[in-house]
């Protein structure tokens, strides 16, 4: 009841902000998202956003 052990993630944050750590996986995911945007495949864009957000949590928890 009083414990908060849930994972806090910036799931509403738009990925791709400057100043964040970028690895090859980030670049791969962002390239995929950009291609999906170019193809107007918005469900795939959403998928990529989720994958990027989830992947970014790894960065923030590793510090």
Copy the structure tokens of residue 31.
Answer: 């390239």
How far, in Å, CA of 18 to CA of 21, rounded?
9
Min dist. Cβ of residue 61 to Zn ion (A) = 12
Single out the segment in contact with Zn ion by CB under 5 A; choices: 6-14, 24-32, 41-49. Answer: 24-32
- 11, 13, 23, 31: residue in contact with Zn ion (rule CB under 5 A): 23
Task: Check if the beta carbon of residue 32 is closer than 8 Å to that of residue 48.
Answer: yes
Single out the segment in contact with Zn ion by CB under 5 A; choices: 3-11, 22-30, 31-39, 41-49. Answer: 22-30
Neighbours of 56 (CB within 10 A): 23
The residue ranges that bind Zn ion (CB under 5 A) are 23, 25-26
């Amino acid at each position: 009841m009083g414990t908060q052990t849930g994972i806090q993630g910036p799931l509403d944050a738009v990925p791709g902000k400057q100043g964040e750590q970028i690895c090859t996986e980030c670049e791969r995911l962002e390239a995929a998202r950009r291609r999906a945007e170019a193809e107007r495949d918005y469900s795939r864009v959403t998928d990529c956003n989720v994958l990027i957000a989830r992947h970014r949590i790894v960065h923030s928890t590793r510090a």
